[in-house]
Amino acid sequence: MRIGILGGTGPEGKGLAVRWAWAGEEVLIGSRDAGRAQQSAQEVLALCPGGKVRGALNSEVAQQGEIVVVAVPYQGHKETLTALRPALAGKILVDVVAPLAFSRGRAKALPVPEGSVAQQAQAVVPEARVVSAFHTISAHDLLTPPSPIECDVLVCADDAEAKKVVMALAEKIPGVRAVDANGLECSRYVEELVALLLNINRVYRGSRSMVRIVGLAGASSARP
């Protein structure tokens, strides 16, 4: 499976690239700057010798990725997807973006006109199969393979098959359990949770808080 990551030079995008490269997936790291993308690819390969990773412009990544992850800053989210809409049509588009602003070191969740960033993505690229995931997993931990990450990844989507694919992709990361968190309309709650986790980390300095859901009856993961 070829996974493209738009904005893959940031900590979250690069961390996901590391983990999927470890799992044997082919990964394309995208950026508006080809040089930055290639440098990030080399950094990932330093952590995953022999991995199938390369850097390219976002436009090439959107075109060639079988699954495309958007990990750009919220401020550039709509513009990026609008420009790439033709290349993303029909593909699974995994949105990991949280709408955040910072003041005096504190994180605040911003309102999104469409309801959530994932719903914004679906509105901008209606032909894509949008899935919201990976918001609450620590970028720092992603960048320390092959150590397991004991957390849940909350996955929201209206397309059941696309959701199943992304849940399986999440569970390629050792220690991670994917949890079905309902439709895209629920993504706003997960996105806003990022601000809470960052503020908890600020209180408990040095922490990398994540999420684990307990009490799931009969439950679940994407594993058989």
Strand 176-180 versus strand 151-157 pairing type: parallel
Q: What angle do CA 213, 111, 33 make, to 5 degrees?
A: 90
Confidence (pLDDT) at 218: 64
- Backbone phi and psi for residue 171, each to the nearest 5 degrees, phi listed first: -80, 5
Confidence (pLDDT) at 219: 56
pLDDT confidence tier of residue 224, bands split at 50, 70 and 90: very low
Confidence (pLDDT) at 223: 42
Taking only the tens place, the pLDDT of each residue in 9-31 is 999 999 999 999 999 999 999 99
Taking only the tens place, the pLDDT of each residue in 38-85 is 999 999 999 999 999 999 999 999 999 999 999 999 999 999 999 999
Domain covering 2-203, topology: Rossmann fold (3.40.50)
pTM: 0.95
pLDDT confidence tier of residue 217, bands split at 50, 70 and 90: confident
Residue spans of the domains in the chain: they are 2-203
Taking only the tens place, the pLDDT of each residue in 100-149 is 999 999 999 999 999 999 999 999 999 999 999 999 999 999 999 999 99
Does the N-terminal peptide bond of residue 49 adopt cis geometry, omega within 30 degrees of 0? no
152: exposed, middle or buried (Cβ count in 10 Å: 0-12, 13-18, 19+): buried
- Residues near 109 by Cβ (< 8 Å), separated by ≥ 6? 98, 99, 100, 191, 192, 194, 195
Confidence (pLDDT) at 155: 98
Residue 145 token pair: 């393979």
